[in-house]
Structure 1
Amino acid sequence: MTHPVAIEMPSTKPHWWSVFIAFLRLGLTSFGGPVAHLGYFQKEFVEKRKWLDSTRYADLVALCQFLPGPASSQVGIALGLSRAGISGAIAAFLGFTLPSAMAMCVFALMYDDLGNALGAEFLQGFKLVSVAVVAQALWSMGKNFSRGTIRTIITLISAIAVMMLPPTIGQILVIIVAGLVGIACLRTENSSPIHAEDTNVSKRTAITALILFFVLLAGLPLLANTLQLYPVTLFDSFYRTGALVFGGGHVVLPLLESQAVQSGWVSQEAFLAGYGATQAMPGPLFTFAAFLGAISTQTPSGWIGASIALLAIFLPAFLLVIGALPFWERWRHQQVLRNALLGINAGVVGLLLAAFYHPVWTSAIHRPTDLLVAMAALMLLIIAKLPAWLVVLLTVLFSGFFLS
C-alpha cells in the first residue's frame, strides 16, 4: 500500500513592511494618549485585522502594564514582535512613533522664531494646557492606583519625599521603597491563567536582551561620568528615564524635567511649552524626548540630538519586551512582583503629584486669568470630553488672542 507523501508548505510569515504600514496609519491618527492607543490597537489588530484574539491581546497589555516604560508603545512593539519577529517590532515602533517625533522636532527647531512671531502668550497657552492635562492624568491615575488608605499614604509620602530629596536619587528611591511597602502591606488577587503562544523570540535572545538592559542601566552612568561627553550623557539620561518610568505617559514628566531642565539643557519655559504641544500630537507621549533633544542648548541638538534622545528613551522598552515576553507566563503569577507593582503604581502617582505642583503649576499659573484658562481647559477634557489636540488648539488660540 502506497502512503501519501507529506508536502511541507512554504512559510507564510508576515513581512515587516505590512506591520510598518499598519502602525504608520495609527501613528498618524491615534490621538488621545496611552489609554486611547490601547483601544485603537484592540479595534485595529483584534477586531479588524484579527492578528490575535482578545485573550492574547489582554495578556500583552497586562505584560506591558507590569513593565516600566511607555505601556502603549510596548504593546505595539509586542504586537509587531508576535506578528513578524524582531523586524516586525522595529517596524511597529517606527510606524507608530516617527510621525509625532518628526513633528515635535520641527516644533523645537521653530520654537524661537515661533515665539517671536506669535508672542509669548501663544507659548503660555501650551503651558496652561500642561496644567489641565497633568491634572486630568492625576485624577485618572489616582482613582486606579491610589485607592485605599495604604496606597493613598504611599502616594502622599512619595510626593513629599521626591520634593525634598535630590531629583534623580529621590525618584529612584521612592519607586524602590513604594515597591517594598507593596510587598509588605498590599496583596493582589490571583490572576487567571494565560495561554502560551509563539512569541517569535527564543529564550537565548530573551536572556541576551535582559542582560543588555541591565548592563546599559548600570554601565551608562559610569561611561558618561568617565568620558564627560554630552552625547553619552544625553543617551544615559534618557535611557534611565525610559528604564525607570512606571505607569508610562505623563509619569515621564518629572523624570525628564530633572534630567533636561535641572541640567540646564532646556529652559523650563520651553520644557512646558513642548510638553503642552506633545498633547496635540498623535502617537506616544514619549516623543516629547525628540523635542528636548532637538531644542537642547548643548551640541549635538537638532535632528541628531532628537534621534539620540528618542532612541535612548525607547530602547529599554524594546529590550524589556523582547526579554520578558517568553517568560511572562511564569512571571505573571509571582505574587511578590504583583504586590510590589501595587506599591510602585501608588508611588508614581506621588511623583506626578509633585511634578504637577513644580514645575507645571508654579511655571504656568501666575495670575487669576491663567488659573481660569487652565480650569476651562480641564473642563473641556473631563466634562466635554474633547480630544486633547483640540483642547490644545483652543487654549493656545485663546491665550494668544485674548490674553495678550
Structure 2
Amino acid sequence: MSTFSTAITGLKAYQTDLGVIGNNIANANTTGYKASRAQFSDLLVQTLEGASAPSGNTGGTDPLQIGAGVIVGGVQNIQTQGAIEPTGRSSDIAIQGEGFYVLSNGESQIYTRVGTFELDANGNLVDSGTGFKVQGINGDISIPLGSNAAAGTTQVELAGNLDANAANDPVTPTDESALDTSFFIIDSLGGKHQVNVTFSLPGSANTGVWNYAVTSTDGTFTGASAGTVTFASGGSIDSSLTTGPASAGGIFTFDPGNAAASGQQFSIDFGELTGFAALSNVSMKRQDGVPPGSLSSFNVGSDGKVNGIFSNGLVKEVDTLKLASFSNPSGLLRLANGQFAETPNSGVAQFGAAGTGGRGTIVAGALEQSNVDLGTELVNLIIAQRGYEANAQVISIANQIQQTTLNLLR
C-alpha cells in the first residue's frame, strides 16, 4: 500500500510543477512578470533498520531506509532582469538593474517592476492597472498639468563693441562719447521690466576706460549699479581693472516694485564686449528668465528625477522616484498585477533614488518584459509530463501486483 501513497505524492508534486510551468508560459508576454520555479523535496524517510558499527570480524552496516514520496518544498521567485523594450510613451518606465517601484494603496506600500504609469484626473502619477499611487522621495508624485510657472532672470549676457575712436568732442558729433542700450528682465512672477545700461567716456579722450550705469524705468536698483570697464590693448576687457558690480561677478540687486520677490539678484556679463575701432553697438545676447507658461508634459530621467515641462520651455524638477531594494528579493510575497509585498524573509525595504545603494537606473519610454525563457519552460513542461506519467505508471503496476496477490486466494 505504501507504493500507492508514494506515487500519489509524485502525482501531486508534478501536478503543482505543471501549474507553475503553465503559469510561466501563460505570462511569457506579461510586462514585468517574474518567473517561478517549483523545488522538490523528500516527503518522509522511513527507517526500517538503523546503522551498525563494525565489531569483531564483521564490518558495519548502513541504515535501511525507504522513502515515502515527494513534496513541493517551495516555489521560488526568479527575480532576474527582463528584456527592456521601447514603447515611445513617456510615462512608461523600466528599471535597468535591481530595485522596485514603490506604490501606495492608501494603507500599505506595494512593490512592483511594472512601470506602466499614467496621470489620473487629479494629476497623480498612478499604476495604470490598479490606480495605486506612485511614490516619490516626497510622497505621492503629483504632476498638475496646466499649472503655471515662471523663472526670474539670474543671468544677462551683453555682446557688442565700444568704439575705441570715440571721443568727447562736441565739434565732431560722429565720435559719440556715450551709448545707451536697453533690454527686458523677468521677475519671479514672470513680469517684464526694462533695464537700461549707459556707457560713457569719463573724459574727453578715449583711454580704453568706459563708465557704465544701470537703471530701470519700472523698478529700482539697490546697492551698487555703476562702475567702469577697461579694455586692454588687444580690444578685450581687462577684468583686473574693471570696477563696480561687474568686477564681482556682475551681481545687481533689483526691486521690481510689484508683488514679485524684492531683492532679485542677477548678473550682467560684460565679458564679450570689445573695444575695437569700430562703431559702438551693444545689445543683450541672452537672458535666462522665462515668462509664465503652463505645465504641458513631463519626463523621467535615468536618475529617477521627474521633470515637469512647461510651454515656455521651463523645466522644473517635480520629485524623484523612490525605489526599494531588499536583501532577499526572492522572499517577497507575490500578489496580482505584477506586485509584491514585504515578508519577514525578504528583509526590510531599503529606500533611495535610482542609481544609489545598488538600485538600478531608469529607462524612460520603455518597459521591462517578462523574464520567462519560453524554450526552457517548454522543456520543463515535457519533463514534468514524463514525471507525472511515470508516477501514474507506478500506481498501475502496483495495482497489477496487488491484483496478482489477490488472485493467489482463488
Whether the TM-score (by the shorter chain) exceeds 0.5 is no
TM-score (norm 2): 0.17
TM-score (norm 1): 0.17
The structure with higher relative contact order (CA 8 Å, sep 6+) is 1
